[in-house]
Amino acid sequence: MTEKGADESPQWWLYILDCDGRLYTGISTDPQRRYREHLAGGTRAAKFARSGRRLEMKYRVALGSRALAQKAEYRVKRISRQEKQALLKQAPGPRALLALLGL
């Protein structure tokens, strides 16, 4: 196992979950772990996800820094449901997503 250097930071991901037809956007360094936390429904789960019966990971993309992931999350959360559904259908890679969001 290798140790991370002082200048090496974790990879941040943006993810979108479908929660009974509603879309939830979040960021994490480990989207699979975060998804399991949402599924468990405990205190680590988002309130949004706790109320749902069906939770499915629809999209995830590695973006790099936390700051960039937060900016992308902010922009995705402000687009319409139709635009989010189009984004899910398109499933853009990191560069294409950032271009779509103007980042």
The residue range of the domain holding 23 is 12-95
Residues 84 and 76: beta-carbon distance below 8 Å:
yes
Establish if 1 belongs to a structural domain.
Answer: no
Residues 36 and 49: beta-carbon distance below 8 Å:
no
Could you give the number of structural domains in the chain?
Answer: 1
Full-model pTM? 0.85
Establish if 101 belongs to a structural domain.
Answer: no
| Distance, CA of 10 to CA of 80 (rounded, Å) | 30
Q: Lowest mean pLDDT: which of 19-33, 43-57, 58-72? A: 43-57
Closest CA to 17 of 54, 68, 64: 54
What CATH number is attached to the domain comprising 74?
A: 3.40.1440.10
Q: Lowest mean pLDDT: which of 47-51, 77-81, 90-94? A: 47-51
